[in-house]
Amino acid sequence: MPGRRRAVRAIARTVVALASASALVVAGLAWALQHRVQDALVTSDATVPQTPVVAGESFTALLVGLDARTDASGNPLPAELLDKMHAGPDEGQLHTDTIILLHVPGDPAKAPVALSIPRDSYVPIAGGRGTHKINSAYWRGVREAQQELARQGVTGPELDRRTREKGRAVLVETVENLTGVTVDHFAEINLAGFVELTEALGGVPVCLAAPARDSYSGLDLPAGRQTVSGATALAFVRQRHGLTGGDLDRIGRQQAFLAGLVQQLRTTGALTDPDRLAELVGIVTRHVVLDSSWDIPQVVAQVQALQMDELTLHTIPTGRPDLPTPADGIAVQIDRTAVREFATALLSDEPEIAATTVAAPEPLAVTSAPAPTTTSSVSPSPTAPMTPIPTTTARVISADEVPCVP
């Protein structure tokens, strides 16, 4: 059937263009292959933008990796799978250990951009919920909804599904408040989905600058270039214990992994096998949640012309990585003004704005805050703005190669 073969090849090219957002990539591909998946996908109405994205225009998607012990429909994951993933005890906290803003330009001549937000970023949680690590925003929304719905007698998977809607809404609003960037779309994948996805793709190439061994995540790998999949791939992107930079080094791992994913899809043709594509369909329907405003055919058409090996992966500016907090342990210090300036410039289609991003500080270069202007006879006003926090900017990772990381 030549027509079907041409369709599969076209879809495979599209997948390469969306490789940095693995959950999104697979969802779009599966929908295009089998229309029945549309009815099986788990969708969310908590993140639909007030102004829908116009076909062909640029958009920004929030991509989330969720530390969940249930599938996308709220059903508990098998105990043997949780053990395989070194998931640890279930403390009832749905942490978003991966938070990435992916900007897809409307102009195919422009390159897509990804911006990572460290999970330990100490920021105000939307809705007056105090200042905490950003990875708790989802869980705080879930916890509030649980209390209300439990009083209404809601239980089981339905309780899980409805409380997560609140969690997603709180997380999206928190990210928007922090970055100043409007979230047009949302995609969420859980731990099990990540494991199964990497196995279905035949693994992802990575490179370690030194051997890595971590009892918490279960990682045990030698230095050098190698291919990881399944639980090992999950451990690679989750490890933070034993890394000098902690959560910030983990961000580098995640970005390097995405660069490897792009290379894998581009060089191996891993998604041209119809049987493998059918397997990916099942993974998406079990473990991925998309907001209901996704127009998959529109997205597919828009990204076909993009070259994902031109994708660059950035991290928000951060202050000290060992900030003591009253109730959240050690966190990553954040200067919200610096983050908003960086994010809005990086994720903008305006040339005069984006140009300021190109001139971002060199990797790990400290940008000192200007000294406040005062006189010797007048004390600073207690209402005056706080002195900006000195911040660092992590190195930029490009998807055109697989970098070696700690």
pLDDT in tens, 310-336: 889 999 999 999 999 999 999 999 999
Residue 213 lies in a domain: no
CATH at 344: 3.30.420.590
Q: Residue 26, CB half-sphere, CA atoms under 13 Å: how many?
A: 29
* CA pair distance 286, 283, nearest whole angstrom: 5
> For residue 180, with 0-12 CB atoms within 10 Å meaning exposed, 13-18 middle and 19 or more buried, which class applies?
middle
Select the more confidently predicted residue: 125 or 13.
125
Domain count, the chain: 1
* CA pair distance 96, 172, nearest whole angstrom: 12
* CA pair distance 240, 218, nearest whole angstrom: 12
Range of the domain at 312: 2-192+249-371+397-405
Could you read off the pLDDT of 207-232 as tens digits, one per residue? 999 999 998 888 999 999 999 999 99
* CA pair distance 134, 333, nearest whole angstrom: 11
Query: Are 150 and 351 a contacting pair, CB within 8 Å?
Result: no
**pTM (predicted TM-score):** 0.79
Query: Are 291 and 45 a contacting pair, CB within 8 Å?
Result: yes
Per-residue confidence (pLDDT) for residue 10, from 0 to 100: 42
- For residue 260, the surrounding DSSP H or E stretch is helix 247-268
Residue 201 lies in a domain: no
Residue 122 lies in a domain: yes
Residues 6+ apart with CB under 8 A from 101: 60, 61, 62, 63, 114, 115, 117, 175, 179, 181, 183, 343, 347
Strand order in the sheet with 204-208: 224-228, 204-208, 404-405
* CA pair distance 367, 266, nearest whole angstrom: 37
- For residue 314, the surrounding DSSP H or E stretch is strand 312-315
Residue 117 lies in a domain: yes
* CA pair distance 294, 301, nearest whole angstrom: 13
Structure-token pair, residue 61? 């998607």
Structure-token pair, residue 372? 């406040």
- Three-state helix/strand/coil letters over 44-66: ECCCCCCCCCCCCCCEEEEEEEE
Residue 215 lies in a domain: no
Could you read off the pLDDT of 53-68 as tens digits, one per residue? 776 788 999 999 988 7
Could you read off the pLDDT of 100-121 as tens digits, one per residue? 999 988 888 888 999 999 999 9
Residue for token pair 């490789």: 19
Could you read off the pLDDT of 141-162 as tens digits, one per residue? 999 999 899 999 998 888 888 8
The mean pLDDT of the chain is 78
Whole-angstrom CA distances from 185 to 46, 57, 60, 268, 304 are: 11, 13, 6, 29, 18
Residue 231 lies in a domain: no
Q: Counting every residue, how long is the chain? A: 406
Strand, helix or coil for residue 30: helix
Residue 208 lies in a domain: no
Residue 244 lies in a domain: no
Per-residue confidence (pLDDT) for residue 359, from 0 to 100: 34
Per-residue confidence (pLDDT) for residue 44, from 0 to 100: 85
Mean pLDDT of 185-199: 90
